[in-house]
């Protein structure tokens, strides 16, 4: 059923509809703060606002990439700083090694790689084995064991611990080898005396210790081949040794060695005499004036008189052969001077010295680089850690600048300003041809020249690292400035874009209040018109 309005009512309804529409627009503007919601509202302002807001978003995206690049540079800078600290520490180790120098000691060292955990090789179950060493001070250490199927041999570390605890004046240590990762056994006199690996030491034990050598006394270096001519053979009950197996003496004091093979039964004629300087430089004389004797008896008598004065007489296998010769040694480390000899001690005597007077000169002490090599091991560990720092350099976007990878960074929203940060490959282990120049390992620190080469290489490495750090710092400064500019531009564009389409909230609020009042008046007018119409209809009834 249709409803008829009069003209006044229709006008009121139209006014109320228009007011409601304007009220909704004003309410939307007040709630959103925007006056332009699309191109239909204001094409020019809407397009300009949209362009600026999109540019602001692009700059945010660009800054995200710059931020990642800045984090990469910051992380790399920290890694480089850590590397500088490591190289400085390595450089300090080289200075310490140079300052220490090489100590001079009475020592001998194997050439074989022997770890303290290595067991003595060549053992057979059921046999008895000995390791025996005696200092010229008269102190002895002997380590014996019977090999069993369950326990064939002790470790060299076990023998070393026992020997060092015995404190006989000789110390057994495991020293770094000049070959990386290897150690060698070193025997060092701690009382200034020479020492001897005794003949009762078993050859199968001693042939592990190849490379032992001595400066004087005519003895050749110990090898696996000649160990059998110096030391006892293996037996189930006790090692057996021949008269020519006299052990191996590490001697640095001078020695006079006979040239004629002799043995314990060799006769020494009555009236034989020898004048010599003892270990303290004092002239001494020995004479056999009572009766003819043999070599064994004479040696015992001589040592009873003069061993405490720094001179010892002995039969020695000095050539690794089945023969022995008479040897007189200065056990205090000086020269051994024979001044005169009669009968058996004359040049053509049975004692066999080629000439009298004669001098056996003291040998140069061993150069002990063990402390230098210990510093060298620490040096190598630090340098190897450099490589670990480089490989594990944590980077935000997977670009490792220290491995030679490059980093491309777009600096603006138009992609027209790309900066490429060029990395530098500084990887490489010590002893390899590394870009840092660290080619001289600490395992070679047996001379001042080798240590100096390592020290010079650390200077080169520091220069390379610091130059790279300076270059990356320049990129970091430039990118940080651009990041700040982009951030400022983006903020300004967003504000301007919003301003172009924003509504005057105060004005729209006032409009909203006026429209509410106008709406109320329209409702009242509509209501009044409706009441008049209803009254007229009642009159017509």
Instruction: Write out pLDDT tens, residues 163-213.
Output: 999 999 999 999 887 676 788 999 999 888 999 999 999 999 999 999 998
Confidence of residue 359 (pLDDT cuts 50, 70, 90): very high
Are residues 333 and 378 part of one domain? no
Does residue 501 have a pLDDT over 60?
Answer: no
Q: Residue 358: which residues within 8 A CB-CB, separation 6 or more? A: 256, 337, 338
The per-residue pLDDT for range 389-419, each reduced to its tens digit, is 887 877 766 678 887 788 877 777 776 677 8
Are residues 332 and 386 part of one domain? no
Per-residue pLDDT, 321: 80
Helix or strand (DSSP H, E) at 530: helix 505-540
Cβ pair 283, 339 in contact under 8 A: yes
Per-residue pLDDT, 118: 93
What is the rounded distance in angstroms from the CA atom of residue 516 to the CA atom of residue 500? 28
What is the rounded distance in angstroms from the CA atom of residue 34 to the CA atom of residue 500? 9
What is the rounded distance in angstroms from the CA atom of residue 529 to the CA atom of residue 287? 163
What is the rounded distance in angstroms from the CA atom of residue 157 to the CA atom of residue 109? 15
When pLDDT is averaged across residues 37-58 and rounded to a whole number, the result is 70
Residue at 362 is within a domain: yes
90 or 133, which is more confident? 133
The per-residue pLDDT for range 248-283, each reduced to its tens digit, is 999 999 999 988 899 999 999 898 999 999 999 999
Per-residue pLDDT, 26: 60
Are residues 242 and 301 part of one domain? no
Cβ pair 137, 334 in contact under 8 A: no
Dihedral angle at the C-alpha atoms of 373, 375, 378, 383, nearest 10 degrees?
-90
Residue at 407 is within a domain: yes
* Residue that has been written with the tokens 């200065």 in this structure: 330
Cβ pair 343, 349 in contact under 8 A: yes
What is the rounded distance in angstroms from the CA atom of residue 243 to the CA atom of residue 136? 21
34-38, 214-218, 362-366: least confidently modelled range: 34-38
The per-residue pLDDT for range 46-56, each reduced to its tens digit, is 677 777 777 77
162 or 382, which is more confident? 162
Q: DSSP for 478-526?
A: HHHHHHHHHHHHHHHHHHHHHHHHB--HHHHHHHHHHHHHHHHHHHHHH
Does residue 295 have a pLDDT over 60?
Answer: yes
Are residues 166 and 108 part of one domain? yes
Per-residue pLDDT, 17: 63
* pLDDT over 90, % of the chain: 31
Confidence of residue 68 (pLDDT cuts 50, 70, 90): confident
Are residues 354 and 246 part of one domain? no
Confidence of residue 307 (pLDDT cuts 50, 70, 90): very high
When pLDDT is averaged across residues 518-536 and rounded to a whole number, the result is 62
Please report the sign of the dihedral spanned by the C-alpha atoms of residue 393, residue 399, residue 400, residue 401. negative
187-196, 280-289, 419-428: least confidently modelled range: 419-428
346-350, 416-420, 430-434: least confidently modelled range: 430-434
Are residues 491 and 376 part of one domain? yes
Are residues 129 and 96 part of one domain? no
Are residues 130 and 170 part of one domain? yes
Q: DSSP for 380-416?
A: HHHHHHHHHHHHT---TTS--TTBT--EEEE-STTS-
pTM of the prediction? 0.58
What is the rounded distance in angstroms from the CA atom of residue 30 to the CA atom of residue 22? 12
Per-residue pLDDT, 7: 64
Confidence of residue 1 (pLDDT cuts 50, 70, 90): very low
Are residues 338 and 278 part of one domain? yes
Sheet holding 170-176, edge to edge: 107-109, 183-189, 170-176
What is the rounded distance in angstroms from the CA atom of residue 535 to the CA atom of residue 6? 14
- Give the per-residue SS3 of 330-344: ECCCCCEEEEEEEHH
Provide the mean pLDDT of the chain.
Answer: 81
Residue at 347 is within a domain: yes
Q: In 3-state terms, what secondary structure has residue 366?
A: strand
Asked if the bond preceding 302 is cis, omega within 30° of 0, the reply is no
Are residues 389 and 300 part of one domain? no
What is the rounded distance in angstroms from the CA atom of residue 517 to the CA atom of residue 526? 14
The per-residue pLDDT for range 77-98, each reduced to its tens digit, is 888 898 899 899 988 988 888 8
What is the rounded distance in angstroms from the CA atom of residue 128 to the CA atom of residue 395? 63
430 or 420, which is more confident? 420
Residue at 513 is within a domain: no
Are residues 403 and 374 part of one domain? yes
* Residue that has been written with the tokens 């191996």 in this structure: 248
Residue at 84 is within a domain: yes
How many structural domains comprise the chain? 3
Helix or strand (DSSP H, E) at 64: helix 43-100
What is the rounded distance in angstroms from the CA atom of residue 259 to the CA atom of residue 370? 37
Helix or strand (DSSP H, E) at 107: strand 107-109
User: Which CATH number does the domain housing residue 96 bear?
Assistant: 1.20.1330.10
Per-residue pLDDT, 173: 92
Per-residue pLDDT, 170: 96
Per-residue pLDDT, 522: 61
497 or 163, which is more confident? 163
Per-residue pLDDT, 430: 47
To the nearest 10 degrees (0 to 180), the angle between helices 448-501 and 370-391 is: 20
What is the rounded distance in angstroms from the CA atom of residue 69 to the CA atom of residue 482? 12
Confidence of residue 31 (pLDDT cuts 50, 70, 90): low
The per-residue pLDDT for range 455-492, each reduced to its tens digit, is 888 888 888 889 988 988 888 888 888 778 777 777 77
Per-residue pLDDT, 241: 80
Q: In 3-state terms, what secondary structure has residue 249?
A: strand
Residue at 322 is within a domain: yes
What is the rounded distance in angstroms from the CA atom of residue 130 to the CA atom of residue 205? 7
CA nearest neighbour of 472 among 405, 413, 415, 417: 405
Residue at 40 is within a domain: no
Does residue 42 have a pLDDT over 80?
Answer: no
Are residues 462 and 432 part of one domain? yes
What is the rounded distance in angstroms from the CA atom of residue 125 to the CA atom of residue 116? 22
Residue at 22 is within a domain: no
Domain region containing 484: 59-100+369-496
């Amino acid at each position: 059923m249709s409803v008829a309005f009069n003209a006044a009512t229709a006008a009121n309804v139209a006014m109320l509809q228009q007011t409601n529409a304007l009220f909704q627009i004003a309410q939307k503007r007040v709630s959103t703060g925007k006056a332009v919601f699309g191109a239909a509202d204001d094409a020019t302002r809407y397009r300009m606002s949209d362009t600026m807001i999109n540019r602001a978003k692009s700059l945010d995206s660009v800054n995200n990439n710059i931020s990642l690049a800045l984090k990469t540079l910051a992380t790399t800078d920290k890694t480089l700083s850590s590397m500088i600290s490591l190289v400085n520490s390595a450089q300090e180790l080289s200075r310490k090694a140079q300052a220490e120098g090489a100590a001079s000691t009475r020592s001998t060292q194997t050439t074989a790689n022997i770890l303290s955990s290595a067991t003595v090789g060549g053992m057979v179950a059921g046999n008895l084995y000995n390791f025996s060493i005696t200092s010229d001070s008269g102190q002895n250490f002997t380590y014996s064991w019977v090999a069993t199927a369950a326990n064939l041999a002790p470790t060299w570390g076990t023998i070393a611990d026992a020997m060092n605890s015995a404190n006989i004046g000789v110390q057994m240590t495991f020293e770094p080898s000049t070959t990386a990762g290897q150690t060698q056994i070193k025997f060092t006199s701690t009382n200034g005396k020479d020492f001897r690996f005794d003949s009762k030491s078993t050859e199968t034990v001693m042939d592990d210790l190849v490379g032992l050598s001595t400066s004087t006394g005519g003895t050749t270096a110990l090898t696996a081949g000649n160990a059998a001519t110096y030391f006892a053979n293996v037996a189930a009950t006790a090692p057996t040794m021949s008269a020519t197996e006299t052990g191996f003496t590490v001697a640095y004091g001078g020695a006079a060695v006979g040239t004629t093979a002799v043995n314990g039964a060799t006769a020494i004629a009555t009236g034989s005499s020898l004048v010599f300087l003892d270990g303290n430089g004092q002239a001494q004389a020995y004479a056999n004036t009572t009766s003819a004797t043999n070599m064994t008896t004479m040696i015992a008598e001589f040592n009873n008189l003069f061993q405490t004065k720094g001179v010892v007489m002995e039969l020695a296998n000095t050539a690794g052969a089945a023969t022995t010769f008479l040897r007189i040694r200065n056990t205090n480390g000086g020269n051994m001077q024979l001044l005169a000899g009669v009968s058996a001690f004359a040049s053509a005597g049975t004692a066999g010295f080629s000439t009298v007077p004669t001098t056996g000169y003291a040998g140069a002490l061993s150069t002990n680089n063990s402390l230098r090599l210990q510093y060298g091991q620490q040096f190598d560990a630090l340098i190897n850690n450099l490589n670990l720092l480089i490989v594990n350099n944590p980077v935000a976007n997977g670009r490792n600048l220290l491995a030679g990878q490059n980093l491309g960074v777009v600096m603006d929203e138009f992609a027209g300003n790309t900066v490429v940060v060029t990395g530098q490959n500084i990887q490489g282990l010590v002893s390899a041809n590394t870009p840092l120049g660290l080619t001289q390992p600490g395992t070679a620190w047996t001379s001042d020249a080798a240590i100096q080469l390592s020290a010079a290489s650390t200077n080169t490495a520091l220069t390379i690292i610091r130059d790279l750090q300076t270059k990356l710092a320049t990129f970091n400064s430039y990118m940080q400035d651009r990041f700040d500019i982009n951030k400022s531009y983006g903020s300004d564009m967003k504000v301007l874009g919003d301003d172009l389409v924003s509504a005057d909230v105060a004005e729209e609020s006032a409009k909203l209040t006026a429209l509410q009042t106008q709406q109320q008046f329209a409702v009242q007018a509509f209501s009044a018109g409706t009441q008049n119409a209803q009254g007229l209809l009642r009159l017509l009834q």
